[in-house]
Amino acid sequence: MEKRSNATITASIVRLAVILSFLCCCTGIANAQVTSGTILGSVRDKSGSAIAGAQVTITETAKGTSQQLVTDGDGNYISPFLIPGTYSVTVEKAGFRKQIRSGLILQVDQKARIDIDMEVGDVSETTNVVAQVPLVHSESAELGAVIEERAVRELPLNGRNFATLVYLVPGITPGQAGENLSGASTFNPRGASNFNALGHHANSNAWLIDGIDNNEYTFNTVIVTPSIESVREFKVLAGTFSAEFGRGAGVVSVSTKSGSNDFHGTVFDFLRNQVLDARNAFATKQAVPVKPPFRRNQFGAAIGGPLGLPRFGEGGPTFHSGKNRTFFFVDYAGLRELRGLTFTNTVPTEKTRRGDFSDYRNRNGVLLPIYNPLTTRNNPNFDPTRPVSATNPRLLRDQFTNNIIPPSLLNQVGLNVASIYPFPNIAGLGNGNFDNYISVANRVVSENAVNFRLDHKLGDSGSLFFRYNFDDYKLDAPQGQAACCLPTPPHAAERFDLGPFVAGIQNTKLRTQGAAFSYTYLFSPTFVNEFRTGFARTTPQTLQSDFGINAATSLGILGINVNQITTGLPNINVQDFTGLS
């Protein structure tokens, strides 16, 4: 092992103390959580006696990095804060054969016990045993399962949302469809992140990425959504787990991928379009002559490997390959989607727009009477001992003659509102008064996401990693509680100041960022410290398609468009017709 002077060690401790003091003064620091793994065990001879002072070397196979420990007086050793991967454990002691346990796969948040029985012999003799996964986990009582890298990489995922893999774990069931955590929220419309762990409520789940809290606090949706390429594996805990995780339902702890001593890269492109898709059953050629468009393209690339860095000495800078010391992983994922969605609406006919309801019938063909509200009066024959009904009304009103509202009773603002509806484009029901308009609105998605991770080995005693995620997501689509979708007709656009739609489309922009930093230092074979910090941030913004336009004022509805926040049309609900908003 590399020896360090007392002055150097003291300086390192001082620097660490300064960092910790600074962090104590900061706000918003995430609680430390376990997303690494631990290898521990005991070293004994064939008689079962503990072997103290044995040298234990734990090596990560892909990176070539190692950590050296010494067994204590009881023959025990422990190596926490290890990045998930494939490891080997080597034990050496004078008078005994060297023992190697290779092929040990360490998973996220796993405590892998590797007990070594030493054999008397020359230290130059080696016994190599390929490690096997124990059937019983004696170091923890937690309930859960690990979704390994192969499952993340190879299982088919429509939408490539890693969060849906949690359903592979026993006791995990999908959450309620159509609610905020299912991807319907404007705070996170990127994909579903809801699941019920052993019957618990989905809003009580915890999402962690490299030990950093990853929950948005309005609906508890996921903030940072790592790409499939950047997820090494993740663990789903349910029912029983360490108190350090908090919350009371399920915990999903994600470990991101790091580079290795070999370069590995991936390029992908998934394409879907309308060529092989059938036409919507309600989008008839009469109403929609051209099949609604559908183009979905998910693409990206990833690369990881050793990172060469310059070293500065007396003879000037030198360059090293980075193998066994510095590693990087970076990936980009993009999404472009255009999908035509078909909607059936009810809009007023040319006659009803001017108050003529003489042939206004429901879907069963029954005439709907229209009453004059100005003739409302008490029913002199009302029987208070009987329930109010059509045969025992409390109030009486007179029906308009021929079911036609006189022009003198039509309000100009009401006429303006009725005129901004598009005209029917299909026959509809109830003599053409209901379900008489087919519209196609495009759902347009654009997303660009970048993930970067850097791992570095600091001599024999320290290691660190840094991870950063950035995602820029844009969605123009029917979203939220608005009726959908009525485009502004040309005749209305000529008369009033309106947006592209009088009902339906919302424009959502979502930018998320996340980072994690971890520093692990081995002070002695029995004293190890890990410092971890990070953040996750989301900035969602959802606006209506007529934001910034004084549409209500243009129609004569005063007192609504008083500032930029209140621009656009208000929610206007007209009985039996599609609402405007």
pLDDT for residue 115 is more than 60: yes
Mean per-residue pLDDT for 507-513? 91
Q: Note the pLDDT tens digit of each residue in 404-425.
A: 999 999 999 999 999 999 999 8
Inter-CA distances, 492 with 140, 348, 420, 422, 487, Å: 68, 14, 5, 8, 10
Tokens read off for 404: 């036609």
- Residues of the chain with pLDDT > 70, as a percent, come to 83
The pLDDT value given to residue 21:
38
pTM over cut 0.85:
no
d(CA 54, CA 96) in angstroms, rounded, equals: 10
Q: How confident is the model at residue 185 (pLDDT cuts 50, 70, 90)?
A: low
The pLDDT value given to residue 9:
37
Q: Which CATH class is domain 37-130?
A: mainly beta
The pLDDT value given to residue 23:
41
Q: Place domain 144-256 in its CATH homologous superfamily.
A: TonB-dependent receptor, plug domain (2.170.130.10)
pLDDT for residue 389 is more than 60: yes
d(CA 415, CA 400) in angstroms, rounded, equals: 18
Percentage helix, strand, coil for the chain under 3-state DSSP, each rounded to 5 = 15, 40, 45
Residues in the chain, overall count: 581
Mean per-residue pLDDT for 38-59? 89
Q: How confident is the model at residue 491 (pLDDT cuts 50, 70, 90)?
A: very high
The better pLDDT of the pair 242, 77 is held by: 77
The pLDDT value given to residue 123:
64
Range with the poorest average pLDDT among 26-30, 111-115, 315-319, 402-406: 26-30
- Residues of the chain with pLDDT > 90, as a percent, come to 26
Mean per-residue pLDDT for 270-277? 83
Beta carbons of 505 and 545 less than 8 angstroms apart: yes
Q: Note the pLDDT tens digit of each residue in 449-479.
A: 999 999 998 877 888 999 999 999 999 888 6
Mean per-residue pLDDT for 171-198? 73
d(CA 450, CA 448) in angstroms, rounded, equals: 7
**Other residues' Cβ atoms within 10 Å of the Cβ of residue 291:** 16
The pLDDT value given to residue 163:
81
The pLDDT value given to residue 183:
67
The pLDDT value given to residue 35:
72
The pLDDT value given to residue 310:
67
The pLDDT value given to residue 406:
93
Query: First-to-last CA distance in the chain?
Result: 71
- Across 414-427, b (16+ Cβ under 10 Å) vs e yields bebbbbbbbebebe
The pLDDT value given to residue 12:
43
- Segments making up each domain of the chain, as ranges: 37-130, 144-256, 348-420
